[in-house]
């Protein structure tokens, strides 16, 4: 058989392979524009009426000096409930501090949420208007950022964290950044 007759088959195989790879991609996960950039400048008020530490809030300066996690959550967000036990588990990891960005939530709902499910957060910042979240490029809840000790965003996870996300992606990144 002459080689020319292979060409259509080769073209088809290439296109099919490209589409096959395309099917495995998740178009709803948009890569963050902020990877390796310093965290945006902000100051967020804490959760009024909560215990002292959570009432304090946090700012960009608090995210320097140690590896941190910023987790965008809301009490109305159902997937947040799914990932919450994993955040509780991560909170026991001494290498990292978790900051909660409470997105478009009512303080009383957020307090009730923490009371019911437990508090994994070192500090909480309340973003009622969602304005600070826009500076973080947030387009859904939950989203989770890993920030290195220099205050740079190194990783962003969109959607609820699953056990394999935690063990295979997030914890290894924290370990690497802590070295």
Partner 1 sequence: MKASHRAVVLAAVLAVLALAPAPGGNRALAVKPDEMLADAAMEARAREISKGLRCLVCQNQSIDDSDAELARDLRILVRQRLKAGDSDEAVFRFVVDRYGDFVLLKPPMKPVTYILWFGPLLILLGAMAVLVFFFIRRRGTPITASPALSEDDLARLEALLDGDRDEREEP
CA separation for the pair 60, 5 (Å, rounded): 62
Is 2 a binding residue for partner 1 by CB under 8 A? The answer is no
Residues 37-65: b if buried by 16+ CB within 10 A, e if exposed: eebeebebebbeebeeebbebbebebbee
CA distances for 16 relative to 5, 10, 21, 22, 53, angstroms: 18, 10, 9, 10, 55
Coil vs helix vs strand at 87 = helix
Is 140 a binding residue for partner 1 by CB under 8 A? The answer is yes
User: Given candidates 78, 139, 168, 175, which one binds partner 1 under the rule CB under 8 A?
Assistant: 139
In the region spanning residues 105 to 134, those forming contacts with partner 1, defined by CB under 8 A, are: 129-131, 134
Of 23-31, 57-65, 109-117, 143-151, the segment contacting partner 1 by CB under 8 A is: 23-31
Is 34 a binding residue for partner 1 by CB under 8 A? The answer is yes
User: Given candidates 20, 22, 31, 94, which one binds partner 1 under the rule CB under 8 A?
Assistant: 31
Residue ranges in contact with partner 1 by CB under 8 A? 27-28, 30-34, 104, 129-131, 134-137, 139-140
């Amino acid at each position: 058989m002459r080689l020319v007759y292979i060409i259509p088959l080769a073209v088809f195989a290439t296109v099919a392979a490209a589409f096959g790879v395309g099917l495995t991609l998740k178009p709803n996960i948009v890569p963050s524009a902020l990877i390796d950039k310093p965290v945006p400048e902000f100051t967020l008020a804490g959760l009024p009426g909560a215990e002292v530490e959570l009432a304090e809030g946090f700012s960009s300066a608090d995210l320097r000096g140690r590896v941190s996690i910023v987790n965008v959550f809301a009490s109305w967000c159902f997937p947040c409930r799914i990932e919450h036990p994993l955040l509780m588990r991560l909170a026991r990891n001494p290498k990292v501090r978790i900051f909660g960005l409470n997105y478009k939530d009512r303080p009383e709902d957020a307090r009730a949420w923490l009371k019911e499910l437990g508090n994994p957060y070192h500090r909480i910042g309340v973003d009622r208007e969602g304005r600070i979240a826009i500076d973080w490029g947030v387009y859904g809840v939950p989203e989770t950022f890993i920030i290195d000790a220099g205050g740079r965003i190194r990783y962003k996870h969109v959607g609820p964290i699953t056990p394999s996300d935690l063990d295979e992606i997030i914890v290894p990144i924290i370990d690497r950044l802590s070295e």
